Amino acid sequence: MKNYYEILEVNQKASKEIIEKAYKVLVKKYHPDVNAKKAQENNQKIKELNEAYEVLSNDFLREQYDNELKKEKSTLENVTFQKESSLNEEQTQKNVQNAKPHKIGSFMNLIEIVKELLRNKPKREQFKEVTKKDLFAMFLTAIILILLGIILWFIPFTNGWMREFLFENPLFNWIGRLFTR
**Same domain, yes or no, for 47 and 123?**
no
Residue 87, Ramachandran bin (φ over 0: left; ψ between -120 and 50: alpha; else beta)? beta
Q: Domain check: are 49 and 127 in the same one?
A: no
pLDDT tens per residue across span 1-42: 788 888 888 888 888 888 899 889 888 888 877 777 777 888
- Are 1 and 78 in a shared domain? yes
- Measured in degrees and rounded to the nearest 5, phi and psi for residue 3 equal -100, 100
The verdict on residue 94 lying in a domain is: no
The answer to whether the beta carbons of residues 156 and 147 sit under 8 Å apart is: no
One domain, residues 72 and 4: yes
Distance in angstroms (rounded) separating the CA atoms of residues 63 and 103: 34
pLDDT band at 147 (very low <50, low <70, confident <90, very high): very high
pLDDT exceeds 60 at position 49 = yes
| Domain with 40 in it | 1-86
Distance CA 169, CA 167 (A): 6
Neighbours of 38 (CB within 10 A): 13
Split into its structural domains, the chain has a count of: 2
User: For the domain that residue 3 is a member of, what is the CATH number?
Assistant: 1.10.287.110
